[in-house]
Every structure is written in structure tokens, then in C-alpha cells.
């Protein structure tokens, strides 16, 4: 049985199609992250699952029951929004339990549920306070607590951490991961933060213009992106995308004199494609020395930036840019020509015309 299933979900606003046919099936306990740029339809899809918006076409099934036409409160879901409006005049405890109060759950049961949620979220000592007496991260926990007491089949989160500062975001991210490991609930989580997606998800759906471009584990999304778009969406610094032409199994990067002989596996696939994009993650590049021959490209070093854990080297091949993430103590001089070795197994090749992985 799948915990959540979307079948050809479409959404039109007037003549504009915002969701262009979403199909998706989630097993119980999955943590699905919807990842994509602003306006690609993430919130629209989440709202349709929640019942806050209606699909123009298609079906949503929660726990093998069609919920099309079912009121949000009867869908057995709980949602946490980006702006987690808490009731300012109510205590933390009452805020958390308010949904249950509205459902006429007896006070004793309510208190127990609130205590349990507070314990999980480590806010037991805050239950008597008002929201104005809490930090941003604590308020966020109260909002999650409100969802938690409902013990729903599916949790829906819409960018719940985007109002927090960087440090708090990281802490709450870890908290959410811990929570999911502990409760094993099914979660759909919207974000445009690739790090959140990579760290939290059991699977990521990378969205583009109302469609899912790739649905896969974080490992696959990172290491075998299906398209150039997906490849450029995850990773920091982003993947290098070099224009190149393939002839006789050799990729000639525009602006570079030397060719990159393609590994055998790629050679066959790339046979029919001449104009390609060669994708190389910055961390797949290493400084070449005379001892390590192998695959290499030469580039002129423009900028060297020490971020702390790594040295980010920006260089150029003709008019194309190449970024490398190197160990912090690497010896490299600005203005010089430098050979970089490439891990052949880490080459990504995309058809330039379609953007698809070769
Ligand atoms: N009520 C509406 N009427 C008309 N168009 C809408 C409506 N709601 C959303 N849209 C449009 O649908 C598209 C998707 O919006 P949505 O809110 O789902 O994007 P999103 O991926 O959540 O973006 P963000 O990251 O900015 O929150 C946008 O182009 C938006 O302008
Ligand atoms: Mg949104």
C-alpha cells in the first residue's frame, strides 16, 4: 500500500497550466522533498495534497483512499507552513493542542498528546510561555508540535525553515531528520534549498515548470542527474558545464586544445551526439602533477578563494569557466596555466540540444 499517490495531477489557473501532470507514489515512511525554483508549482502541489486547492484534473490518494473532494480536516494530514502563525494570546501548550480542542478531543487526552509532542521537540519547559517569549527556532518547534499531536498519515511541510537564520536552519534541519527517524512518518517537504533536500530526503522530486524532471534518491540526483537542469540544481559550487564536440570518442572542449577521450561506456552512448555539454563537479577536479597522467584539462587560473574547508579555484578555458574545489593548502598561483586531472568516472555528458544525460 502506498501512503500517498498522485495520479496525473494537473492545475490550471485560467489558461495557464501550473501543474502539467504529476505522477507520484510514496511508500509509508518516505521523506519526499519537492525541490525547485520559485514559481515551479511546489506549493500548488502541496496545497492540492492538503485539500487547500483543488486539482483541475487527476486524483490524490492518501493511504489508498481517494481524497478528491474530501475536506482538508478529513484527509488525515497535517501541514506546517512557512509563516507558522501561532495564536499570540495562547500559551505554547494551548497553541499545540488547539487543533485537538477544535475537534472536541477530551482535555485529558489533549494534555497527554501535547506533553508527548513537547517532549519529542524538547520544549517541555516552554509550554507555559506565549509565542512572543520564544526564539524563532522555538516558535518553529511549536508549529511542528501542532502538526505532531494530530498523528496524521502524512505530514506536509512548505518551506518551514525559510524564516530562520542560517545557524538555526541547520539545527532545525537536524531536528527534523531526527524526528523523522524517530517517528517514521511519511513526509512531503517543499524547499528550494538543495542542501535541505540532499540531507533530509529519502527521495527528491526535482520540479521544473509544473513537472517532475527527476524523481530519485539524493545519491542518484547528485551522482547521476538525468538532465543538465537537475545537475545544475544540486551541488555547491555548481557543476561545471562545458560546451564540447564529440568526434571519434574524443570530446573536444570549446576553447581547449586537448581532447578528453571518453570512457568506453560513454563512448557508445555518445556516438550519435556531436554537440554535448560536459559536466564536471568542482570536487572531481584535482591538481595535476607530472606523475599523475590520466585525464586532464588545462585552464588559466583567475581567482582563488579560501572558504575554510576548501580552496575554490576559478579558471577559464577559452571563454568557458571552470571551477575546482581543492584541499585548502593547495599550491596554486593566479594568472598561471594549470592542469587539472578529472576523475573519469565522474564525467557527466548531456546532449546539448535536449539537455538529457547521454
Ligand atoms: N491563485 C493563483 N492564481 C493564479 N496563478 C497562481 C495562483 N497561485 C499560484 N499561481 C501561479 O502558479 C505558479 C506556481 O506557484 P507556486 O506557489 O506553486 O510556486 P512555488 O514553486 O511554491 O514557488 P515559491 O518557491 O516562490 O513558493 C506561479 O507561477 C504562480 O504565479
Ligand atoms: Mg511556495
Which residues does residue 250 pair with via DSSP β-bridges, in sequence order? Answer: 247, 261
Residue 28 class from Cβ within 10 Å (0-12 exposed, 13-18 middle, 19+ buried)? middle
* Ligand 1 binding pocket, CB closer than 6 Å: 13, 18, 36, 38-44, 192
Cross-strand partners of 106 = none
Per-residue confidence (pLDDT) for residue 270, from 0 to 100: 67
Q: Which CATH superfamily is domain 4-233 in?
A: P-loop containing nucleotide triphosphate hydrolases (3.40.50.300)
Mean pLDDT, each 10-residue run in order, the chain (358 residues): 94 95 96 96 96 96 93 91 85 94 92 92 92 89 90 92 82 89 93 94 97 98 97 94 90 85 76 86 89 80 96 95 96 93 89 93
Q: What is the side-by-side order of every strand in the sheet holding 65-66? A: 16-27, 2-13, 57-62, 65-66
Cell numbers given for 130: 506565549
CB distance 303 to 334 below 8 Å: yes
Instruction: Tell me which ligand sits closest to the C-alpha of residue 41.
Output: 1
Given this model, what pLDDT does residue 290 score? 66
The residue nearest atom 9 of ligand 1, judged by CA position, is 44
In the reported structure, the alpha carbon of residue 211 is separated from the centroid of ligand 2 by a whole-number distance in angstroms of 15
Give, using CA atoms, the residue closest to atom 28 of ligand 1: 39
- For a ligand 1 pocket test, name from 9, 43, 233 the mutation site with the most ligand atoms within 8 angstroms of its C-beta: 43
Between the CA of 305 and the centroid of ligand 1 the distance, in Å, is 37
353 alpha carbon to ligand 2 midpoint, in Å? 30
Residue 343: exposed, middle, or buried by beta-carbon count in 10 A (0-12, 13-18, 19+)? middle
Index of the ligand 1 atom closest to the CA of residue 40: 21
- 92, 104, 112, 116, 168 from 108: Cα distances, Å: 17, 11, 6, 12, 33
- Which residues face 158 on adjacent strands? 190
pTM, whole model, 2 decimals?
0.91
> What confidence tens digit (pLDDT) does each residue in 244-255 have?
998 888 889 998
Distance of alpha carbon 248 from its chain centroid, rounded?
Answer: 37
Distance CA 207, CA 209 (A): 7
> Would you state the pLDDT for residue 122?
86
Reference 321, options 333, 313, 329; nearest CA is 313
| Confidence at residue 259, expressed as pLDDT on a 0 to 100 scale | 82
Q: Which ligand is nearest to the CA of 40?
A: 1
The per-residue pLDDT for 85 is: 81
Ligand 1 pocket mutation pick from 10, 14, 18 by most atoms within 8 angstroms of CB: 18
What pLDDT, on a 0 to 100 scale, did the predictor assign at position 156? 95
Tell me how crowded residue 157 is: count the other CB atoms within 10 A of its CB. Answer: 25
The protein residues having their C-beta less than 5 angstroms from ligand 2 (an ion) are: 43
Q: Look at the block and give the residue holding cell 539537455.
A: 355
In the chain, domain spans = 4-233, 240-351
Tell me what pLDDT residue 189 has: 97
To test the pocket of ligand 1, the residue of 14, 15, 37, 41 to mutate (highest count of ligand atoms within 8 Å of its CB) is: 41
Q: Which ligand is nearest to the CA of 211?
A: 1
Reported CATH class of domain 240-351: mainly beta
| Phi, psi for 23 (deg, rounded to 5) | -120, 135
Amino acid at each position: 500500500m502506498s501512503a500517498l499517490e498522485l495520479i496525473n495531477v494537473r492545475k490550471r489557473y485560467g489558461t495557464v497550466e501550473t501543474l502539467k501532470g504529476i505522477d507520484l507514489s510514496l511508500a509509508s515512511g518516505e521523506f519526499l522533498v519537492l525541490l525547485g525554483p520559485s514559481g515551479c508549482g511546489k506549493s500548488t502541489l502541496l496545497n492540492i495534497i492538503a485539500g487547500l486547492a483543488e486539482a483541475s484534473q487527476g486524483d490524490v490518494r492518501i493511504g489508498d483512499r481517494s481524497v478528491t473532494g474530501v475536506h482538508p480536516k478529513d484527509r488525515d494530514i497535517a501541514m506546517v507552513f512557512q509563516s507558522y502563525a501561532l495564536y499570540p494570546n495562547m500559551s505554547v501548550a494551548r497553541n499545540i493542542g488547539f487543533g485537538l480542542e477544535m475537534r472536541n478531543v477530551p482535555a485529558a487526552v489533549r494534555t497527554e498528546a501535547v506533553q508527548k509532542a513537547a517532549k519529542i521537540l524538547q520544549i517541555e519547559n516552554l509550554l507555559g510561555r506565549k509565542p512572543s517569549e520564544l526564539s524563532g527556532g522555538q516558535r518553529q518547534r511549536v508549529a511542528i508540535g501542532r502538526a505532531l499531536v494530530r498523528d496524521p498519515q502524512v505530514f506536509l511541510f512548505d518551506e518551514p525553515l525559510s524564516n530562520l537564520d542560517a545557524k538555526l536552519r541547520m539545527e532545525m534541519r537536524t531536528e527534523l531528520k531526527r524526528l523523522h527517524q524517530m517517528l517514521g512518518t511519511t513526509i512531503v517537504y517543499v524547499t528550494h534549498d538543495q542542501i535541505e533536500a540532499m540531507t533530509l530526503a529519502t527521495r527528491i522530486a526535482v520540479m521544473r515548470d509544473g513537472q517532475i524532471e527527476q524523481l530519485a534518491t539524493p545519491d542518484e540526483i547528485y551522482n547521476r542527474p538525468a538532465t543538465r537542469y537537475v545537475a545544475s540544481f544540486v551541488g555547491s559550487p555548481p557543476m561545471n558545464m562545458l560546451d564540447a564536440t564529440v568526434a571519434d570518442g574524443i570530446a573536444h572542449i570549446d576553447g581547449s586544445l586537448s581532447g578528453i577521450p571518453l570512457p568506453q561506456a560513454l563512448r557508445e552512448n555518445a556516438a550519435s551526439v556531436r554537440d554535448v555539454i560536459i559536466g564536471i563537479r568542482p570536487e572531481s577536479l584535482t591538481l595535476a602533477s607530472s606523475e599523475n597522467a590520466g585525464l586532464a584539462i588545462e585552464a588559466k587560473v583567475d581567482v582563488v578563494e579560501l572558504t575554510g574547508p576548501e580552496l575554490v579555484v576559478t579558471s577559464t578555458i577559452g571563454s568557458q569557466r571552470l571551477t575546482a574545489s581543492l584541499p585548502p593548502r593547495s599550491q596554486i598561483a593566479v594568472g598561471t596555466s594549470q592542469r587539472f586531472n578529472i576523475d573519469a568516472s565522474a564525467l557527466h555528458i548531456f546532449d546539448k540540444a535536449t539537455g538529457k544525460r547521454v
